[in-house]
Structure 1
Amino acid sequence: MPIENAPTLTLHHADSSTARAVVASGIWQVHALAERGAIKTIGTMLASLTGKQALDWDLSGITSIDHIGAQMFWNAWGKQRPAQLKLAPKQEELFKRIEESSRVTLPPTRARRFTWVMVLGFGMLSFFEHLWGFIRLIGQVTQDIGRFVRHPLTGPWREISSNIFHAGFQALGITALVGFLIGVVLSYLSAQQLRTFGGDMYLVNILGMSVIRELGPLLAAILVAGRSGSSITAQLGVMRVTEELDAMLVMGISHGYRLIMPKVLALAISMPLLVVWTDAMALIGGMVSAKMELGLSARYFIQKLPDAVPLANYVIGLLKGTVFGMLIALVSCHFGLRIKPNTESLGRGTTTSVVTAITVVILADAVFAIIFSGVGFY
């Protein structure tokens, strides 16, 4: 049921002139304005009166009014009192407060000069700060590995095993799927070009070298960086938010020995195995595509592969997997430990960790390509 004294707005033509009078009555409070869409109807009427100066406003008939109703009038007046305004005594204070708040202006902000220089400077400082922290983390992990080698019986074997399971075994599915599809696509596109020049037999060479030497390690590293790297950063970040890291320090438990080193060793062990797995799936996909596109049998493919790809390429691929795994773990732990105890920093740190890890992996792959440019070819 509609409430009594609903807000109303009435227009009256003055007898002595062409000016009109606007008379408001009823209850101008938020609960009354929200009844049956009254705020929309009255808002439309007030909008049609905005900017008209020759109007007499009479609000003395309003039973009660709150800030919402007063603000509607104030906006219709163009944020200033009209020349002809009649208010009840109890309404004066409300409109006076609104008028005073409208006069408050923010101090003008001075335009900063050399803003781009400042941004560049802060960016360089942040980069070197991260670089210094990363180098310190590498040194800490090296010391922890030395301690682990000296006292293997007291080492974090369960943590290493758990991280191998999560980062390695649970990644077999996604790496197999992506590797197989990449092998199919690469084989199909290469077959299209080789058929044009009559070089069908060289498909094994192209597929074997590209997958075993480059694509296999790189694909596995990118997938692990997105999957396991983000998980590592989020895990350390949540431990920071819940103050578990501080509790470990109070209990005398080293972060590096119990959290960081097991992850680095686990990825250093599991990444070469994932590289072999990804290579195998990609080559199987390539064999399937070669059989369908060029009619090359799987037997011919398997027999030709050892001759087409020298053994040094397998070793380079495994070495890449080990280095990529350690870099992903170090980058993820670095950003995970720098997360502040709030949820916004957790999300931002995880995103930055994944992007940085993938970038570092690609840079490391470029370094490998330069160092071993003359290795692995007949």
Structure 2
Amino acid sequence: MTLSSTSSQADRLVVLDDKRCRLSGDWNVQALAVSGEVEKRAARLARVQPSMVWDLTGITKFDAVGAQLLWKRWGAKLPAGIQLTDSQRALFDVLAEYPVEPSPAAQPNDLLGWVRSIGFGMFVAAEHGLGLLRMLGDFMGDLGRFILRPSRGPWREISAQVYRVGAQALGITALVGFLIGIVLSYLSAQQLAVFGVGQFIVKLLGVATVRELGPILAAILVAGRSGSSITAQIGVMRVTQELDAMEVMGISHGQRLILPRVIALAIAMPLLVLWTDAIALIGGMLAAKFQLGLTVEWFFGQLPDAIGIKNYWISVIKGITFGAWIALVACHFGLRIKPNTESLGRGTTASVVTAITGVILIDALYAILFNEMGI
């Protein structure tokens, strides 16, 4: 005796009687892709009593989509007494061996989630800060041993790093410095010409470039170019297990990886800063010549008095500090990379962002310090 009418398609494909549930028709992805079909058949299947025997031999087309619908209805196990074809039984055996992970439940709105995110961010920042502080302490110890025994120092690595981070960066720093000098001079000349004080462009351009823009520009370029390269290089050594091999052979990471790069950047960075300052001033001089009609001889004749030697020393001090900071950050994130490519990409990105952010913060601290000292 049929328990329900067979007017709908679900009723025709899922026939229920007193002791048996017989399935027929198509139970594949094409049939179940029809709008609302899955819900209709699931509702019909929900009416099957636990005492009924399932009969799937009447199904004409059957695939993993239809099998998954029934497998979920059965609670991920075959009911007792079920009648299947050999191909259907093989399909359910695969589902039993490789279960599909349930989709995660939607998380309720967390009103204090932003507080938790801030706290977690502060915890991660503190962890990285302590790691950088420990690395700085280890570097100072390695530097002391290097000074006491210079003949055993990594001179070849230092020379190679000075070439990579310094000489090979001359082109990009010159190009950016030249363009920035032109833009700054052009915009300043427009404003100064309104008040008829175009001659002050030498002091404005000279102090702004040598004291602030030159060190910042060079540091940002070096952080993006050389800092990322150092992090990626050390990260690849982690992926290829070269760092583990160094530990097994008793080779110090600090003396062979960190010390040469920090020293090299501390040497090359102030030179790059002075180079960027000079090229930016040349660009600014050309813009002032065409915008205000100032001669090249007069411009360079006013530069020594306009800038002053103290601003050059400030530029050099910032260059040394920025170089050491970029190298320490790059090595720190490089050594923390895990042996997989995803961690390598994240670590390199974090290294560049942290280095640039730190450069700006250090520059702000220097501005406050020099202002309190009256320099």
- For the superposition of Structure 1 and Structure 2, which TM-score range results when normalised by the shorter chain? 0.7 to 0.9
Task: Decide whether aligned partners of structure 1 residues 249 and 51 sit closer, same or farther in structure 2, where only a CA change above 3 A counts.
Answer: closer
CA RMSD of aligned residues (A): 3.8
Matched, 1:239 2:237: yes
Q: Is the 8 A contact 2:56 2:83 kept in 1?
A: no
Corresponding residue for residue 317 of structure 1: 315
Distance 1:51 1:277 in 2: 72
Corresponding residue for residue 248 of structure 1: 246
What letter matches 1:356 in structure 2? T
Q: 2:64 aligns with which of 61, 64, 67?
A: 67
Task: Output one character per residue of 1:39-98: Cα deviation in whole Å (capped at 9) or x when no partner.
Answer: 4xx566x33756668x99998654452323555x87xxxx89xxxxxxx94269779999
Distance 1:96 1:320 in 2: 68
Task: Output one character per residue of 1:129-188: Cα deviation in whole Å (capped at 9) or x when no partner.
Answer: 222221111111111111111111111000000100110011111101110110010001
Task: Decide whether aligned partners of structure 1 residues 56 and 96 sit closer, same or farther in structure 2, where only a CA change above 3 A counts.
Answer: farther
**Identical counterparts, % of pairs:** 56
Distance 2:130 2:84 in 1: 66
Q: Is the 8 A contact 2:203 2:306 kept in 1?
A: yes
Q: Which runs of 5+ in 1 are unaligned?
A: 1-15, 34-38, 81-87
Task: Decide whether aligned partners of structure 1 residues 201 and 261 sit closer, same or farther in structure 2, where only a CA change above 3 A counts.
Answer: same
Shift of 1:126: 2.6
**Aligned pairs (5 A) from 1:196-215:** 196-215=194-213
Q: Which moved more, 1:259-268 or 1:58-67?
A: 58-67
Q: Which moved more, 1:119-128 or 1:169-178?
A: 119-128
What letter matches 2:346 in structure 1? R
Q: Which moved more, 1:111-120 or 1:333-342?
A: 111-120
Q: Which runs of 5+ in 2 are unaligned?
A: 14-22, 46-54, 75-81
Shift of 1:118: 4.4
What letter matches 1:218 in structure 2? I
Distance 1:50 1:347 in 2: 42
Q: Is the 8 A contact 2:158 2:260 kept in 1?
A: yes
Corresponding residue for residue 338 of structure 1: 336
Output the TM-score relative to the length of structure 2.
0.78
**Aligned pairs (5 A) from 1:150-161:** 150-161=148-159
Q: 2:295 aligns with which of 278, 284, 297?
A: 297
Shift of 1:376: 8.3
Distance 1:172 1:188 in 2: 24
What letter matches 2:161 in structure 1? N
Q: Is the 8 A contact 1:238 1:346 kept in 2?
A: yes
Task: Decide whether aligned partners of structure 1 residues 374 and 326 sit closer, same or farther in structure 2, where only a CA change above 3 A counts.
Answer: same
Corresponding residue for residue 362 of structure 1: 360
What letter matches 1:124 in structure 2? M
Q: Is the 8 A contact 2:27 2:59 kept in 1?
A: yes
What letter matches 2:84 in structure 1? K
Corresponding residue for residue 79 of structure 2: none
Q: Is the 8 A contact 1:312 1:375 kept in 2?
A: no
Output the TM-score relative to the length of structure 1.
0.77
Corresponding residue for residue 84 of structure 2: 90
Distance 1:108 1:305 in 2: 65
Corresponding residue for residue 51 of structure 2: none
Q: 1:134 aligns with which of 132, 135, 138?
A: 132
Task: Decide whether aligned partners of structure 1 residues 366 and 62 sit closer, same or farther in structure 2, where only a CA change above 3 A counts.
Answer: same
**Aligned pairs (5 A) from 1:165-244:** 165-244=163-242
Task: Decide whether aligned partners of structure 1 residues 345 and 108 sit closer, same or farther in structure 2, where only a CA change above 3 A counts.
Answer: closer
Q: Secondary structure at the match of 1:253?
A: coil
Task: Output one character per residue of 1:283-311: Cα deviation in whole Å (capped at 9) or x when no partner.
Answer: 11111111221111211111111111111
Distance 1:362 1:123 in 2: 20
